[in-house]
Amino acid sequence: MIDVPDSELRQRLTAALGVTRFVDEVAARAPFPDLDALITTAVDAATALTDAELDEAVAHHPRIGEQPTGDGTSAALSRGEQGGLDAAAEGVDAAIVRGNRVYEERFGRVFLIRAAGRTGQDMADELQRRLTNCPEEEAEEAKEQLRQIMTLRLRALFAEEAA
Do the domain assignments include residue 55? yes
Backbone angles phi, psi at 152, to 5 degrees: -60, -40
CA dist 126 and 83 (Å) reads 18
| pLDDT at position 126 over 90 | yes
Label residue 67 by pLDDT band (50, 70, 90).
Answer: low
CA dist 160 and 7 (Å) reads 17
Do the domain assignments include residue 1? no
**CATH code at 112?**
1.10.3330.10
| pLDDT at position 92 over 60 | yes
Query: Which of 17, 28, 1, 119 has the alpha carbon at shortest distance from 73?
Result: 17
Task: Read off the amino acid at residue 114.
Answer: R
| pLDDT at position 47 over 90 | yes
Q: Which residues are CB-contacts of 151 (< 8 A; sequence separation ≥ 6)?
A: 39, 42, 43
Q: What is the pLDDT of residues 68-83, one digit of tens each?
A: 555 566 555 555 555 5
Mean pLDDT value across the chain: 89
Do the domain assignments include residue 14? yes
Report the pLDDT value the prediction gives residue 156, as an integer from 0 to 100.
95
Task: Read off the amino acid at residue 150.
Answer: M
| pLDDT at position 114 over 80 | yes
Q: Could you give the C-alpha distances from 10 to 59, 75, 81, 119, 135, in angstroms and in order?
A: 17, 16, 21, 31, 31
Report the pLDDT value the prediction gives residue 70, as an integer from 0 to 100.
58
CA dist 111 and 121 (Å) reads 15
Q: Tell me if 150 sits within 8 A of 117, measured CB to CB.
A: no
Label residue 160 by pLDDT band (50, 70, 90).
Answer: confident
65: alpha, beta or left, given left = phi > 0 and alpha = psi -120 to 50? left
Q: How many domains does the chain have?
A: 1
Q: Domain of 94?
A: 6-162
Report the pLDDT value the prediction gives residue 29, as an integer from 0 to 100.
97
Report the pLDDT value the prediction gives residue 34, as an integer from 0 to 100.
96
Q: How confident is the model over 127-141, as a mean pLDDT?
A: 97
| pLDDT at position 36 over 70 | yes
Do the domain assignments include residue 41? yes
CA dist 119 and 126 (Å) reads 11
| pLDDT at position 64 over 60 | yes
